[in-house]
């Protein structure tokens, strides 16, 4: 630092002396010759790396012009500003041919290398590309200071307000220096306290819940929302005002926001000063302008109610619903504008919605871009807004949702540029394709299998036609699975899905059961949509199962199952699925009813029924609440018992977390697992984003599960098991990965608990 200061003073003094000397020289020359002197040539000396042409291009004065001290001084300043030189001098050489103006320069040293130390929170790969000083470039003080400011700014964005950035210059030879930038990160500065002034209508705790920022506590630390971010404050002001306006306070405003940093720079204190104003109720609601499709339809779309407090949220929903109503009639550029008339005395407000439908338009054509692999037809078959048809706002919205649900694209964007005429538009679709093909081979550890190996080849967009193909094998110490499946979502070009699969499984669960089991089989399936989110499917599956090595001491039920048995099963499924994503939904509902009958071929005879529901409620800021319930029932007929390998047990991911696989079940008098013929579960998941993980593919969960297994009779509440816990879910490019820490709240003595579970290919 001292070296750089001395160099800077020396350069400044040199410039001043050079300018003074140049001025005296020029003045003397002009005094000696009243006719003035003409510059015949300009020469550059001392430059080694900077081209002479570059220097000449940076100066204003030219040969053939009169010598002007002011212009030469300006050229010296300009050359310094380029950052190439540590010293610039100018002098005159008088010769018989005329004046020669000489610029004598001393170049800055070249940068050998730039090292960054102390930067644990931000890696070199994120900092280096943003630096002005790079290896092989010329060093200059201004560039170094800019780099230090840039690094500090990067740390401030991450909440490191205690950061210090210094530097050291190490000369290597006359023309080269190494630069070391030293970072002292300090700790993250967090929000210690948030206060409000002027909030009479709502308590501090109520308003705190509405902010994106949080006071420092465990949950805030876990979500990183207590880290101070200046950019977040503007959003907090808007959220605060929005909450008030959603409860009738039309005139609310945050008058000021005081931000105080503690002397230690460890804590921030925020104070919001709020002017609430009066709360208004809605008096009259009116619709005017273009009554399309009808006045009654537009009034029905209004979410606000007379007599209730005004709500900006309901106003926006009303505008969206009314615009969609008009848009469904072909008016793509309809505009609905609200106007307000306040009655201060009665604290009421009249709202009139002015509808301008604009011009009716038709879809001239559909242009698709960004699909480098996916065929156009794969996208077009998801559209509900067709070429040549009248524009419909709801069909546009539904088309985009259907494209997102294919899980082939990271992003789908739609726009409506003008077509060849005023009443025509182009439906422009831009997609960003996902990586849909995976090949993986590896190993790992799971609670059930201990050590295992897995290999998988999957393509969800085979040949760009939207076909899903899957070939996988799992080799563990307890089970060996082989699976092959192919699904065509548009069989024969129709909206009819078709699938085929084959499998083989070997099971050796000696720690859980006293027998061994091998299975193989395959099947065919067809599915047809009944409505936009409602589908029906039917599948026939034929399989053979061999149960062997059954101990002689086993129960009669178990010994009766020994040997080979075949199953020909026809399963029908009615499913409602309005979820917005396939693996990590954040909104929508899933309802499913399933009935299977075994007896169409094979030796087994049984009937199985299943019903389940799962709902997703977005809470904002990446939080999603998801309740779910399920129930199953199986029984034999024609004098046959339901096969033991199809009877029910609970435990682990997908049922009751906190219990081991087969940890909740029915056992015979010998303690052998025989399972139940009825099972019911219920669960509540709260998904939340994780710090520094800005992706839906990596999230945490807090859960509560309950369930029971019954063999006969009426389910008893005393038999219900319950658990709670936390988990992590990662949707990798290869397969989902789930980690769960479960804690049983209610169990029975014969249950097997498991506090930790790790699973591949499973989601919560």
Taking a C-beta distance cutoff of 8 angstroms, is the pair 539, 523 a contact?
yes
> In whole angstroms, what is the distance from residue 142 CA to residue 83 CA?
8
Say which residue the tokens 């030796």 belong to.
603
pLDDT at 308 over 90: yes
The reported pLDDT for the residue numbered 525 is: 96
The reported pLDDT for the residue numbered 660 is: 85
Taking a C-beta distance cutoff of 8 angstroms, is the pair 60, 74 a contact?
yes
User: Which has more pLDDT, 458 or 704?
Assistant: 704
CATH 1.10.3720.10 is the classification of domain 437-760: no
pLDDT at 23 over 70: no
The 8 Å CB, 24+ separation contacts for 118-126 are: 118/182, 118/183, 118/184, 118/185, 119/151, 119/183, 119/185, 120/185, 121/155, 121/158, 121/160, 121/185, 122/151, 122/154, 122/155, 122/158, 126/154
The CATH number that domain 362-433 falls under is 3.10.20.310
pLDDT at 33 over 50: no
E strands along 549-660, which residues?
563-577, 588-602, 606-620, 623-636
- Least confident range from 62-66, 199-203, 449-453: namely 449-453
- Per-residue HEC secondary structure of 244-289 comes to HHCCCCCCCEEEEEEEEECCCCCEEEEEEEEECCCCCEEEEEEEEE
CATH H-level, domain 2-107: superfamily: membrane protein fhac (3.10.20.310)
Q: Is 487 helix (H, G, I), strand (E, B) or coil?
A: strand
pLDDT at 122 over 60: yes
pTM for the model: 0.61
Domain ranges of the chain: 2-107, 110-184, 190-275, 281-356, 362-433, 437-760
Q: Could you read off the pLDDT of 43-60 as tens digits, one per residue?
A: 888 887 788 888 888 888
pLDDT grade for 8, boundaries at 50, 70 and 90 = very low
User: Which has more pLDDT, 762 or 326?
Assistant: 326
CATH H-level, domain 110-184: superfamily: membrane protein fhac (3.10.20.310)
Q: Could you read off the pLDDT of 590-640 as tens digits, one per residue?
A: 999 999 999 999 999 999 999 999 999 998 778 999 999 999 999 999 988
In CATH terms, the fold of domain 190-275 is Ubiquitin-like (UB roll) (3.10.20)
Q: Which two tokens stand for residue 16?
A: 């001043």
The reported pLDDT for the residue numbered 443 is: 53
Q: Which two tokens stand for residue 349?
A: 């407000």
CATH fold match for the domains 190-275 and 362-433: yes
Q: How far is CA 329 from CA 70, 298, 315, 333, 693, in A?
A: 72, 12, 22, 11, 43
The reported pLDDT for the residue numbered 691 is: 66
pLDDT grade for 113, boundaries at 50, 70 and 90 = confident
> In whole angstroms, what is the distance from residue 323 CA to residue 393 CA?
8
What are φ and ψ of residue 536, in 5° steps?
-125, 140
Q: Which of 61, 63, 59 is nearest to 47 (CA)?
A: 59
**Which CATH number among 3.40.50.880, 3.40.50.720, 3.10.20.310, 3.30.420.40 corresponds to the domain 281-356?**
3.10.20.310
The reported pLDDT for the residue numbered 241 is: 95
> Could you give the percent of the chain with pLDDT greater than 90?
47
The reported pLDDT for the residue numbered 36 is: 54
């Amino acid at each position: 630092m001292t070296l750089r200061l001395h160099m800077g003073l020396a350069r400044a003094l040199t410039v001043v002396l050079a300018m003074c000397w140049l001025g005296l020289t020029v003045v003397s020359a002009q005094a000696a010759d009243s006719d003035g002197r003409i510059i015949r040539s300009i020469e550059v000396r001392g430059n080694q790396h900077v081209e002479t042409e570059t220097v000449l291009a940076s100066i204003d004065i030219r040969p053939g012009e009169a010598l002007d001290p002011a212009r030469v001084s300006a050229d010296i300043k300009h050359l310094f500003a380029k950052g190439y030189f540590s010293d610039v001098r100018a002098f005159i050489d008088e010769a018989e041919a005329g004046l020669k103006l000489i610029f004598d320069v001393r170049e800055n040293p070249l940068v050998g290398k730039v090292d960054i130390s102390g930067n644990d929170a931000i890696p070199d790969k994120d900092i280096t590309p943003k630096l002005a000083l790079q290896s092989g470039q010329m060093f200059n003080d201004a560039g170094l200071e800019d780099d230090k400011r840039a690094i500090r700014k990067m740390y401030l964005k991450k909440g490191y307000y205690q950061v210090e950035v210094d530097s050291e210059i190490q000369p290597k030879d006359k023309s080269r220096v190494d630069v070391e930038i030293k970072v002292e990160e300090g700790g993250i500065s967090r929000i210690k306290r948030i206060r409000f002034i002027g909030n009479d209508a709502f308590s501090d705790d109520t308003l705190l819940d509405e902010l994106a920022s949080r006071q420092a506590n465990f949950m805030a630390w876990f979500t990183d929302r207590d880290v101070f971010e200046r950019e977040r404050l503007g959003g907090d002001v808007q959220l605060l005002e929005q909450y008030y306006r959603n409860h009738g306070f039309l005139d609310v405003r945050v008058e000021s926001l005081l931000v105080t940093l503690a002397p230690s720079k460890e804590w921030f204190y925020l104070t919001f000063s709020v002017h609430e104003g009066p709360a208004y109720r809605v008096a009259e609601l009116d619709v005017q302008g273009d009554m399309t499709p009808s006045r009654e339809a537009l009034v029905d779309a209004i979410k606000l109610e007379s007599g209730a407090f005004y709500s900006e949220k309901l106003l926006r929903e009303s505008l969206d619903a009314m615009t969609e109503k008009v848009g469904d009639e072909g008016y793509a550029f309809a505009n609905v504008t609200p106007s307000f008339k306040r009655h201060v005395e009665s604290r009421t407000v009249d709202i009139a919605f002015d509808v301008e439908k604009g011009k009716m338009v038709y879809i001239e054509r559909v242009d698709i871009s960004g699909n480098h692999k996916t065929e156009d037809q794969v996208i077009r078959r998801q559209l509900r807004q067709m070429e040549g048809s009248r524009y419909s706002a709801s069909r546009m919205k539904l088309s985009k949702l259907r494209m997102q649900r294919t899980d082939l694209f990271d992003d789908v964007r739609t726009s409506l540029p003008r077509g060849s005429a005023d009443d025509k538009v182009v439906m422009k679709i831009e997609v960003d394709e996902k990586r849909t093909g995976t090949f993986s081979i590896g190993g790992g550890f799971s609670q059930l299998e201990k050590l295992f190996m897995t290999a998988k080849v999957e393509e969800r967009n085979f040949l760009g036609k939207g076909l899903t193909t899957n070939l996988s094998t799992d080799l563990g110490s307890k089970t060996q699975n082989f699976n092959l499946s192919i699904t065509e979502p548009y069989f024969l070009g129709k909206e009819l899905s078709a699938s085929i699969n084959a499998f083989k499984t070997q099971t050796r669960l000696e720690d859980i059961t006293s027998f061994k089991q091998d299975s193989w089989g395959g099947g065919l399936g067809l599915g047809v949509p009944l409505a936009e989110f409602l589908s029906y499917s039917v599948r026939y599956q034929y399989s053979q199962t061999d149960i062997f090595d059954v101990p002689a001491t086993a129960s009669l039920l178990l010994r009766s199952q020994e040997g080979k048995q075949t199953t020909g099963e026809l399963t029908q499924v009615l499913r409602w699925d309005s979820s917005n994503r396939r693996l990590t939904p954040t909104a929508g509902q899933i309802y499913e009813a399933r009935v299977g009958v075994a007896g169409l071929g094979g030796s087994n005879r049984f009937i199985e029924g299943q019903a389940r529901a799962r709902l997703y409620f977005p809470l904002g800021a990446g939080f999603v609440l998801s309740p779910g319930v399920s129930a199953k029932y199986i029984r034999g007929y024609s004098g046959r018992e339901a096969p033991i390998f199809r009877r029910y047990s609970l435990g682990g991911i997908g049922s009751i977390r906190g219990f081991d696989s087969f940890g909740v079940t029915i056992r015979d008098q010998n303690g052998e697992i025989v399972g139940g013929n009825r099972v019911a579960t219920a669960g509540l998941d709260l998904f939340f984003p994780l710090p520094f993980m800005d992706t839906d593919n990596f999230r945490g969960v807090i859960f509560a599960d309950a369930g029971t297994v019954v063999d006969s009779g009426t389910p008893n509440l005393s038999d219900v098991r319950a658990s709670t816990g936390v988990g992590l879910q990662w949707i990798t490019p290869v397969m989902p990965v789930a980690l769960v820490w479960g804690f049983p709240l209610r169990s029975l003595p014969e249950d097997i608990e498991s506090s930790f579970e790790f699973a591949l290919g499973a989601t919560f």
